[in-house]
């Protein structure tokens, strides 16, 4: 990191002045937390007793055999409480909020994953959660809305603009600006202004740290290849970061290529985007030549975002991590394959990583090891996949 | 002397407070946008802030977001905004400030953007998502081209930080009058009066202009009494435009606002 | 147990002669498995690496505080792969089937929980699953049907009788009779003919065994009260059995009292039933004075069964375990409470146990410990609860 | 001598095979159920098995399940079944066997059930879900009241077990002719012929009656040739009843079946 909150040229704090004191306070408090044994112990307690950590590292025998190449291990974030790696982040941030004395948490949500995770973390710590969600998404995601309300969160239905994620995020930032002294803003991925990318990455590093310990125990070595899907990039950075210094460990980030990069209908920010500034940080993003942000597409709701966390932009530039676009079609194929061969229904987001990982494993040696992070479970995606008519 | 300090001097001489009018460029389309700008200018505005539309205006309220989205859809990009400035400048000597977000500027290149803005006739630039920490490049580019780089402060800005920002800011200091974002009304409360006094004190000789959520005539008078050098009105104008109020009628409203600012002419 | 397959007078093998050789074979093979270190190691491997075991024992601080009595711990079977304790059973039985060389597994399912669990276990071991499900249930449970198919199971839609669980079970037994040499019948609870009640209980005992170890570590003592819901009784017997010999450990089974025992619309077999013989074993059941089985009702699909595992009947008679009926209304109340106070959405089945446990904890001392088994997660029940209109 | 052995003796003398007809008690209702029973009796059946309806007939196919459910809904309980037996017995001397499931028997009490069955005029009892391991009590109760307790064997029953079951069974031994449950047809294959021979051999002097899935006339002849002492027809009759075929026509069908069994009278 060249300077505070920067990853090469990426990152920064591109935010309205009104939020700067809050960001600086957060930065300060987070640094305290990071170095506070009691905080870390409390977080670990929630990991273990509430969240179901450590999650298993599972040797997928049948998938490996049908692939015929490297050994494929799956890091089972789908077994986290709430059904995804989102848990690691919201739990950490909710404890930070509590320490700051902020009992009111706001968060934006698209399909509802981060919203439900936030509601859950707020519930267990006795904080209030207010979830900003576009009216269109509210209509489409009835069950997630119900889940949030069930856990006591207040729904703030956003009726401006396209009534979807982006508008929900704008509205949440406005609300934050209006009540910044008492409100904690819970960001859902390793993006946004400093210190969020760093903080969220730190909270997600439990994924990679566990992989290291578990694989050491099982294979006595480091992985040859790590694979994770990249939406905002939180599960991927959590998987990769602890291995960045290990030269022999290759890394592959699977982005959403949607209908195919060439069609322009995708969310492959790193593969097909250009550098810009969006929602607080400098990073690759999908934009036109005038700097207008382009809509993203992915069959996976959690990958459907035109930006990406700044550290990934840096890792791409320095070629430490390779990023690859995986189409909707291939993701669907892996969704079915993993369900059928391993009895694990992955999130559509994770299915991107599975496809990318299996594809690489095929051309690797049998004594090599690929670890794919299954960021979440696919129950949330059944309607989407069902509507594709793949299974009669 | 440059247009901006001249204008503030004139207001001072007048005993009035400067009225800063914000309009989103290209709303409802480029042609009519110019008509509204000219009407507002003629009606008595002291400064015109022209909003450069961006897809993700996180610091703005629903009204500005709506007009921005609309303007983008009808083809308003930074180059079109410069054209608008050029047209307005051809008709008027009013100080013109471009207000926008950083990404379109970054996409064009800070230097190019500032150069084109200057060439078109703009006097200053405000970038809503470029705090002190990120604005060194833009400040430098503006300085080179003689444009004002106007910075913002809020009631949450600590005093030491406010002093630094005021030192970095040129043209005027933009004081966000409430905690929230643009577009919502608020009463002028005693705290705001104190905040203005406090900011004026720290800002030294730099004029302090108060913005975000203003629309009532009463507010203007209160602000003037509190010592503000200017007041910004944006959403209140755009709201009328969205309702279909024609340029001359919006102009009448501006005239009344300026009167409330204490112009001698009322 | 007084004689083989008997718990006092309960249990037995009330099955058509055609199935007796298969039951005897199963009994033999299962005894082998039970004593085979390799089998147990393989099962443990799947528990740990695939299923997410051990599941946490979670001290529910906020629930405890709002209750104001004994310390409440939750055994988190909701974090098992698949979302319920069903995992423990299907994984064990699927390994038994594999050992028997039976690659075709059949199972009946009502709401689809056991069906999806079976499909999952079959998938990971590369076995074929055929799920019998009433046509009415197929219509009502579209997503669970899709889940099973996704994991490669064949759906056998049953159109006889009332087209629900009971008919599916009859049809599955017929199918078993017709292909018993090559087919393994995967029973979903600790009921049915011997050796199922014993085998399923053994597979579920991992719940109680883990509670013992975990609580020892956390509180240095045994629980004062164990609470679990009772449908067929598998999660409850798995919770209770390892503590049966510990005199100081009280046990409470929460049955479904539906609209209330007095209305007759319930599934409270032990509380309000009489002794009889149904689907293979002697046990308490809901029947009229002529021995006709009465329909059961519960808002929780998994409790909606007129019979119960035989060992519970025995434990009731000898008063080792107390059984209590919890109404739909109280279960719903706990469903909401646990979601709101702990960010854990329990299965409606488990919500019965939560109500019963919290109710007891209220009148216990602060240094006492209640452990409630949360048998599954409630995502599957959101539609049902939503339709109750409790949350706007 | 009792009715059952007399009947087998008569068939033997005839050179025919016994025709065992199964009807669900109370289908379509109690009154018409009796009419069908009488018609089947008159048409030449040698044994009548009366199904005691139960809510969960796991060993039966869809047709018997359907008629059972229907009969339960129209009020057919064990006591009504005894009444039916009594009425049939008043008109006929045919051996009557009650076939049912254990729970209604258990609910009434084994002793009471058997006593009432005997008093009503039944000759034997079959309990579909009461294998050897669970049938000691019923066997004893039947012995006391002089009823036959008929046991079942299948092609999967190991020889040693078959010998024990045959020893326990009285009246006849019920050989399940296929792996599945009642109601589905099957061809008489060489294996079945061997199975019958094998069972006859192990059953000693006890007659062997073959059931499950029979309806074709050809099958009857094949079974007789294979050495079966009797054949059971159930679903094939009930199917006709469900279709609305009246008692006399069902009787005609029975007559033809009996002819296929090799009755002298054909
Ligand atoms: C299951 C799952 N995986 C991945 C993502 C993408 O987020 P990130 O790239 O921050 O891990 C999401 C976002 O909602 C998700 O729900
Ligand atoms: C979550 C859950 N809990 C409990 C039960 C009841 O089963 P048992 O009593 O066998 O544990 C079920 C059955 O489907 C279930 O899905």
**H/E stretch holding B200:** helix B190-203
Sequence-distant (≥ 6) Cβ neighbours of residue C96 within 8 angstroms: C26, C29, C30, C33, C184, C199
Q: What is the pLDDT of residue D191?
A: 84
**Sheet containing strand A281-285, strands side by side:** A6-7, A10-11, A281-285, A274-278
Q: What is the pLDDT of residue A111?
A: 87
Q: What is the pLDDT of residue D187?
A: 54
Q: How many residues does chain A have?
A: 392
Q: What is the mean pLDDT of residues A77-84?
A: 98
Contacts of A290 in chain B (CB under 8 A): 77-79, 104, 107-108
User: How close is the nearest chain D Cα to the Cα of C17, in Å?
Assistant: 5
pLDDT per residue over B23-35, tens digit each? 999 999 999 999 9
Please indicate whether, in this complex, the C-beta atoms of A123 and C343 are within 8 angstroms of each other: yes
B and A touch with 3+ CB pairs <8 Å, answer yes
The two beta strands, B173-176 and A322-327, are unpaired
pLDDT per residue over D111-129, tens digit each? 999 999 999 999 999 999 9
- Concatenated DSSP letters for C342-369? HS--B-HHHHHHHHHHHHHHHTS-TT-E
3-state SS class at A295 = coil
Task: Report the C-alpha gap between D86 and D109 in whole angstroms.
Answer: 20
pTM score, whole prediction = 0.96
Sequence-distant (≥ 6) Cβ neighbours of residue D205 within 8 angstroms: none
Q: Is A135 on the interface with B (CB under 8 A)?
A: no
Contact predicate A293/B101, CB 8 Å: no
Residue the block writes with tokens 């500034």: A277
Contact predicate A12/A193, CB 8 Å: yes
Q: Which residues 150-179 on chain A approach chain B with CB closer than 8 angstroms?
A: 160-161, 166-167, 169-170, 173-174, 177-179
When pLDDT is cut at 50, 70 and 90, the band that residue D216 belongs to is: confident
In our burial notation (b when 16+ CB lie closer than 10 A, e otherwise), range B47-75 reads bbbbbbbbbbbbbbbbbbbbbbbbbbeee
Q: What is the mean pLDDT of residues A229-245?
A: 98
Tokens read off for C385: 């609860």
Cα torsion D117, D123, D126, D132: sign: positive
Neighbours of D144 (CB within 10 A): 12
Among B98, D221, A165, which residue's Cα sits nearest to residue A173? Answer: A165
Q: What is the mean pLDDT of residues A255-264?
A: 97
Sequence-distant (≥ 6) Cβ neighbours of residue A89 within 8 angstroms: A117, A188, A189, A200, A203, A204, A234
Q: What is the mean pLDDT of residues A69-91?
A: 98
Proportion of chain A above pLDDT 70, given as a percent: 99
Task: Report the C-alpha gap between D224 and C85 in whole angstroms.
Answer: 54
Tokens read off for B96: 């013109």
Proportion of chain D above pLDDT 70, given as a percent: 92
Lowest mean pLDDT across B224-228, C37-41, D78-82: B224-228
Q: What is the pLDDT of residue D266?
A: 42
Which of B103, B126, B211 best probes binding to A when mutated, by most A CB atoms within 10 angstroms? Answer: B103
For residue B20, the cross-strand partners are: B47, B232
pLDDT for residue A197 is more than 90: yes
Residue D68, CA distances (Å) to B56, C61, C159, D25, D242 in order: 69, 54, 16, 8, 12
Q: Which CATH superfamily is domain D17-258 in?
A: Aldolase class I (3.20.20.70)
Q: What is the pLDDT of residue A329?
A: 98
Measured from the Cα of C231, ligand 2's closest atom is: 9
Q: What is the pLDDT of residue B135?
A: 96
Q: What is the mean pLDDT of residues A90-112?
A: 96
| Mean model confidence pLDDT for chain A | 95
pLDDT for residue A160 is more than 90: no
When pLDDT is cut at 50, 70 and 90, the band that residue A164 belongs to is: confident
Contact predicate C280/C15, CB 8 Å: yes
Tokens read off for C179: 């292909």
Task: Report the C-alpha gap between D263 and D266 in whole angstroms.
Answer: 6
Q: What is the pLDDT of residue B185?
A: 44
User: What is the Rg, in whole angstroms, of the alpha carbon atoms belonging to chain B?
Assistant: 17
Task: Report the C-alpha gap between D49 and D239 in whole angstroms.
Answer: 16
pLDDT per residue over C281-294, tens digit each? 999 999 999 999 99
- Give the single-character DSSP code of C280: T
Q: How many residues does chain C have?
A: 392
Q: Can D60 be counted among the known catalytic residues?
A: yes
When pLDDT is cut at 50, 70 and 90, the band that residue D1 belongs to is: low
Q: What is the mean pLDDT of residues A23-35?
A: 96
When pLDDT is cut at 50, 70 and 90, the band that residue A1 belongs to is: very low
Residue B253, CA distances (Å) to B49, B234, B256, C115, D197 in order: 17, 12, 5, 70, 110
Q: What is the pLDDT of residue A177?
A: 84
Task: Report the C-alpha gap between B80 and A130 in whole angstroms.
Answer: 39
pLDDT for residue D180 is more than 60: no
Among A76, A358, A348, which residue's Cα sits nearest to residue A206? Answer: A76
- Concatenated DSSP letters for C85-105? THHHHHHHHHHHHHHTT--EE
Proportion of chain B above pLDDT 90, given as a percent: 81
Q: What is the mean pLDDT of residues D218-223?
A: 84
Q: What is the mean pLDDT of residues D198-210?
A: 95
Q: DSSP strand E in D42-123: where?
A: 47-51, 96-100
Q: 3-state secondary structure string, D192-229? A: HHHHHHHHHHHHCCCCEEEECCCCCHHHHHHHHHHCCC
Contact predicate C326/C271, CB 8 Å: no
Q: What is the pLDDT of residue D213?
A: 67
pLDDT per residue over B176-222, tens digit each? 986 544 444 455 578 888 999 999 999 999 999 998 766 677 788 88
**H/E stretch holding A45:** helix A37-45
Residue the block writes with tokens 């920002």: B165
Q: Is A345 on the interface with C (CB under 8 A)?
A: yes
In our burial notation (b when 16+ CB lie closer than 10 A, e otherwise), range C54-64 reads bbbbbbbebbb
Proportion of chain B above pLDDT 70, given as a percent: 92
Task: Report the C-alpha gap between D202 and D186 in whole angstroms.
Answer: 24
C-alpha of residue A284 to centroid of ligand 1, in Å? 18
Which residue ranges make up each domain of chain B?
A: 17-258
Sequence-distant (≥ 6) Cβ neighbours of residue D31 within 8 angstroms: none
Residue the block writes with tokens 């833009």: B138
Task: Report the C-alpha gap between D36 and D42 in whole angstroms.
Answer: 10
Protein residues with CB under 6 Å of any ligand 1 atom: A 84, 86, 113-114, 189, 229-236, 302-303, 347, 349-350, 375-376
- Concatenated DSSP letters for D139-181? HHHHHHHT-EE-EEEETTS-HHHHHHHHHH--S-EEEE-SSS-
Q: What are phi and psi of B209, to 5 degrees?
A: -115, 130
A385 or D216, which is more confident?
A385
3-state SS class at B12 = helix
* Regions of chain C with pLDDT less than 70: 1-3
Q: What is the pLDDT of residue B187?
A: 54
Distance of CA D71 to the CA centre of its chain: 18
Task: Report the C-alpha gap between C299 and D35 in whole angstroms.
Answer: 44
Contacts of C18 in chain D (CB under 8 A): 59, 152, 154, 156, 176, 179, 181
Q: What is the ipTM of this complex?
A: 0.94
Contacts of A282 in chain B (CB under 8 A): 106
Protein residues with CB under 6 Å of any ligand 2 atom: C 84, 113-114, 189, 229-236, 302-303, 347, 349-350, 375-376
Q: What is the pLDDT of residue D181?
A: 46
When pLDDT is cut at 50, 70 and 90, the band that residue B1 belongs to is: low
Residue A181, CA distances (Å) to A94, A324, B222 in order: 16, 41, 26
When pLDDT is cut at 50, 70 and 90, the band that residue A180 belongs to is: confident
pLDDT per residue over D16-64, tens digit each? 999 999 999 999 999 999 999 999 999 999 999 999 999 999 888 889 9
Cα torsion A273, A275, A281, A286: sign: negative
Lowest mean pLDDT across A133-137, A316-320, C326-330: A133-137
Measured from the Cα of C200, ligand 2's closest atom is: 10
Task: Report the C-alpha gap between C183 and D180 in whole angstroms.
Answer: 13
Contacts of C290 in chain D (CB under 8 A): 77-79, 104, 107-108
Q: What is the mean pLDDT of residues A258-274?
A: 97
| Mean model confidence pLDDT for chain B | 92
pLDDT for residue B37 is more than 70: yes
**H/E stretch holding D40:** helix D30-42
């Amino acid at each position: 990191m060249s300077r505070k909150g920067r990853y090469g040229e990426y990152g920064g704090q591109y935010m309205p002045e009104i939020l700067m004191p809050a960001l600086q306070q957060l930065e300060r408090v987070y640094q305290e937390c990071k170095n506070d044994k009691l905080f870390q112990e409390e977080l670990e307690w929630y990991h273990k007793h509430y969240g179901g950590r450590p999650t298993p590292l599972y040797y997928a025998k049948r998938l490996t055999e049908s692939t015929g190449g490297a050994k494929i291990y799956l890091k089972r974030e789908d077994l986290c409480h709430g059904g995804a790696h989102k848990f690691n982040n919201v739990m950490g941030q909710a404890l930070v909020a509590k320490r700051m004395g902020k009992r009111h948490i706001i968060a934006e949500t698209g399909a509802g994953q981060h919203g439900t995770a936030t509601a859950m973390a707020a519930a267990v710590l006795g904080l209030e959660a207010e979830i900003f969600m576009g009216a269109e998404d509210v209509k489409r995601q009835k069950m997630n809305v119900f889940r949030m309300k069930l856990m006591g969160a207040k729904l703030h239905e956003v009726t401006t603009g396209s009534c979807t994620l982006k508008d929900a995020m704008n509205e949440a930032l406005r609300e934050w600006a209006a009540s910044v002294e008492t409100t904690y803003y819970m960001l859902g991925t390793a993006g946004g202004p400093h210190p969020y990318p760093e903080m969220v990455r730190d909270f997600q590093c439990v994924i990679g740290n566990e992989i290291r310990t578990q694989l050491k125990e099982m294979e006595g070595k480091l992985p040859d290849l790590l694979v994770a899907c990249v939406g905002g990039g939180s599960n991927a950075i959590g998987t990769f970061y602890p291995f960045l210094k290990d030269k022999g460990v290759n890394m592959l980030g699977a982005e959403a290529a949607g209908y195919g990069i060439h069609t322009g209908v995708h969310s492959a920010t790193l593969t097909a985007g250009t550098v810009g500034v969006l929602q607080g940080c400098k990073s690759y993003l999908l934009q036109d030549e005038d700097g207008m942000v382009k809509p993203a597409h992915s069959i996976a709701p959690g990958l459907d975002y035109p930006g990406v966390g700044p550290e990934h932009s840096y890792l791409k530039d320095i070629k430490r991590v390779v990023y690859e676009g995986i189409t909707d079609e291939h993701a669907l194929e892996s969704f079915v394959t993993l369900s059928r061969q391993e009895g694990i229904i992955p999130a559509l987001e994770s299915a991107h990583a599975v496809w990318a990982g299996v594809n690489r494993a095929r051309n690797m040696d049998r004594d090599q090891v690929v670890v794919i992070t299954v960021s979440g479970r696919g129950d949330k995606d059944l309607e989407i996949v069902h509507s594709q008519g793949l299974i009669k | 002397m440059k247009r901006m300090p001249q204008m503030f001097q004139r207001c001072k001489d007048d005993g009035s407070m400067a009225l800063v009018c914000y309009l989103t460029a290209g709303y409802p389309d480029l042609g009519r946008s110019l008509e509204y700008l000219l009407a507002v200018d003629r009606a008595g505005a002291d400064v015109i802030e022209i909003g450069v539309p961006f897809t993700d205006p996180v610091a703005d309220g629903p009204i500005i977001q709506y007009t921005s989205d609309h303007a983008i859809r009808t083809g308003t990009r930074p180059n079109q905004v410069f054209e608008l400035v050029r047209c307005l400048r051809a008709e008027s000597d009013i100080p013109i400030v471009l207000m926008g977000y950083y990404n379109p500027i970054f996409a064009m290149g800070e230097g190019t953007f500032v150069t084109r803005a200057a060439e078109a006739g703009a006097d200053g630039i405000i970038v809503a998502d470029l705090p002190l920490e990120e604005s060194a490049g833009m400040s430098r580019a503006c300085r080179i081209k003689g444009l004002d780089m106007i910075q913002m402060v809020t009631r949450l800005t600590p005093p030491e930080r406010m002093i630094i920002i005021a030192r970095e800011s040129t043209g005027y200091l933009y004081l966000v009058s409430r905690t929230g974002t643009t577009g919502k009304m608020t009463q002028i409360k005693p705290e705001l009066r104190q905040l203005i006094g406090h900011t004026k004190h720290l800002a030294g000789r730099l004029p302090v202009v108060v913005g975000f959520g203003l629309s009532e005539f009463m507010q203007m008078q209160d602000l003037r009494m509190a010592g503000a050098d200017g007041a910004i009105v944006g959403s209140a104008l755009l709201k009328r435009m969205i309702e279909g109020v024609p340029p001359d009628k919006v102009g009448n409203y501006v005239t009344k606002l300026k009167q409330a600012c204490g112009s001698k002419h009322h």
